[in-house]
Amino acid sequence: MRTQDLIARKRDGRALAPGELKAFVQGVVSGDVSLPQAAAMLMAMVLNGLDDTETAALTFAMLHSGRVLELKLVSRYKVDKHSTGGVGDKVSLVLAPLVAAAGVPVPMISGRSLGHTGGTLDKLEAIPGFRTDLEADEFERQVARIGCAMIGQTAELAPADRILYGLRDATATVECIPLICASILSKKLAEGIDALVLDVKCGRGAFMKSREDARRLARTMVEVGRQLGKPATALITRMDEPLGRAAGNAVEVRETIACLRGGGPSDLMEVTYALGVEMLAAAGVGEDVADRRRRLESVLDSGQALDRFRALIEAQGGNPAVADDPDLLPRAGAVREVRYSGAQSAVVRAVDALAVGECAVLLGAGRKRESDAVDPAAGVDALVRAGERVEPGDVLCRLHAADTKRLDEGEQRLGDAFAFGDPEPAASLILERIG
């Protein structure tokens, strides 16, 4: 069928066959499908949806639009983790070396920041010299040698996704669960993994604002993974407040190092351990949840996880000394403390993740557009957390930027990000498991 006939079928609410979706994806990559036609198809998909069979077929076609790695040099069961994005979410930086040190290889292809959410690649590139542009063969050799590698999407992996993602951003078709699923899974399954663990975030600072939307996305990805022969599990986690006490790039690497030294924030480690337990379970390592948790705590306490992080940095061209001396990381030209201005002591009731994330972008830590440059030293740290008591003049957070103009913009965006009063009862960040 002609491309316009396929568009018309989806526009009219009819399902597309796997062969038709394959032809569409191949045409996008070859250029036989024009960008206006691809944009029209994306809008038709958003308006009329895709069922699970269509979503799996689209994912399969995007996955096989380029090279699919086999990682033959890595004999053990390989598991990756993906997060749908949040504020202060440096879990991947802690989790990859932690799980690798526990005996499960972690090949990880990550993304950059866009909007108010941070990007793993930007955080890693805050480490002087760190390369995220390894070729596929380098990536495989590194996973075989040290158990983990963290890179960006290469030109040969899922090229259809790079084209379609750019169009989705430009045509307001990003927030569509089947398209999100196909984008994530086509990249992740191209890594050559055996299983995938998903962190689907919901709340104020997440793309999925409601728990029901997060559940729909999680169930879709788990089901499509199953149809494509790759077992997946998903944890739905809360993202109403920033994760940890830092949001940015170098500031999050500093917090990562603190975690790997055994001194990380409890909320960040709660999510890290929960996802790590799932990764070990997927690989058949450990007897039960308690045993897997003990294994992870053991390699953290012994220093093996920090050693693995140091080896990861060195293998990818970075300065491994930052693992022992975080002061080697970039420092901002201007720093400002934001203080509590109340007349009497108070308890922090909430910290708005969205406001903090957007503040970090204004400081220079993120992007409004994909082409924007990122300042590795910019960000927010020393964040107070809900439930903590503050006295007049206490520091609520610290802002880092290149100059005072950016500090002014970031502080203005914080606005009423900090709410005070009776805190809500403490609850787990892990809301639900779907597998």
98 in Cβ contact with 281 (< 8 Å)? no
Average pLDDT over residues 274-295: 97
- For 123, the 3-state DSSP assignment is helix
Cα–Cα distance measured from residue 107 to residue 77, given in angstroms and rounded to the nearest whole number = 11
The residues assigned a catalytic role are 82, 161, 168, 183, 187
In this prediction, residue 424 has a pLDDT band, given cuts at 50, 70 and 90, of confident
In the prediction, which pLDDT does 426 show? 77
Q: Which of 199, 221, 197 is nearest to 78 (CA)?
A: 197
Distance, in Å, from the CA atom of 112 to the CA atom of 159, rounded to the nearest integer, reads: 16
169 pLDDT more than 80? no
Where are the extended beta strands (E) located within 92-163?
A: 106-110, 148-152
pLDDT of residue 15: 96
Burial class of residue 353 (count of CB atoms within 10 Å of its CB; 0-12, 13-18, 19+): buried
Q: Summarize pLDDT for 292-347 with one digit per residue, the tens.
A: 999 999 999 999 999 999 999 999 999 999 999 999 999 999 999 999 999 999 99
Strands, DSSP E only, in 127-205?
148-152, 195-202
Q: What is the pLDDT of residue 58?
A: 98
Predicted confidence band of residue 23 (pLDDT cuts 50, 70, 90)? very high
Kindly list the structural domains of the chain, giving each domain's residue range(s) and its CATH number in brackets, ordered by start: 3-49 (no CATH), 79-326 (3.40.1030.10), 331-420 (3.90.1170.30)
- Contact indicator for 155, 409 with CB cutoff of 8 Å: no
pLDDT at 120: 94
- Average pLDDT of the chain is 95
Specify the pLDDT at position 186.
Answer: 95
Which residues have CB under 8 Å from 341's CB, separation 6+?
392
Question: Which tokens go with 430?
Answer: 């892990």
Crossing angle for the helix pair 250-260 and 304-315, nearest 10 degrees?
Answer: 140
